[in-house]
Amino acid sequence: MKVSIFSQTKQTLNRRNTLEIYTDIEISAKAEKVWNILTNLNDYSNWNPFLVKAEGTIQKGAKITIHVQPPGLKSMVFNPTIVKNEENRTLAWEGKFILPGIFDGEHTFIIEELGSKNVRLIQKEIYTGLLIPFMAKKLNQNTLSGFELMNQAVKNLAES
C-alpha cells in the first residue's frame, strides 16, 4: 500500500544483520505544524494508529515510553532514548532489547521543507542485531504497514 502518489517505501536487509525500513509522504503543511504533531507525545493516543501511546519529554538524552501496535502483531512497549532533536527538522530515538547487539533500533523522523507550506515527512527505522534475520519478514510487513498508517494519519491531521 502506498501512502500517496508521492510516497515511497524501502526495506533493505544486508549481511551485517541490519535492516532499514523507510517511508515518506508529502504533506501540505508547514514544518512547524508537522513537528508539533510528532513531538506532542501525550496526544498520540488520540490519532496515531501505530505508536498508540507515548509518554515523556522530547529532549536529547531523555528516556521516553512508546507503545507500538504494528498491524497484525501484539502491542509492544519500548523505552528508547532521544538521540536527536533538531526543532522542525529531525527527531530520533534509539532503543535496545535486553542487551545491545541483540535487537536494536533507531527510529527517525525527518521533515524536509519543499516550499513555504509543503514538507516531506520521512519515517525510517534502522534495526541491527543478532535477531534481525529471524524477524526481518515480520518487520518488513507489519512495521512498514504501521509506518504508512502513521504517515497518513500525520498528513490528515496536519492538513485539517
CATH number for position 74: 3.30.530.20
115 pLDDT higher than 70: yes
The whole-chain average pLDDT of the chain stands at 89
Rounded to an integer, what distance in angstroms lies between the CA atom of residue 127 and that of residue 118? 29
In a domain? residue 14: yes
**Domain housing 56:** 8-159
pTM of this structure: 0.87
In a domain? residue 3: no
Q: Are 38 and 51 within 8 A, CB to CB?
A: no
Residue 15 pLDDT class (50, 70, 90 cuts) = low
The pLDDT > 90 percentage for the chain reads 67
In a domain? residue 12: yes
In a domain? residue 2: no
In a domain? residue 70: yes
110 pLDDT higher than 90: yes
Helix/strand/coil for 91: strand
Rounded to an integer, what distance in angstroms lies between the CA atom of residue 64 and that of residue 82? 7
- Counting the structural domains of the chain, the total is 1
In a domain? residue 1: no
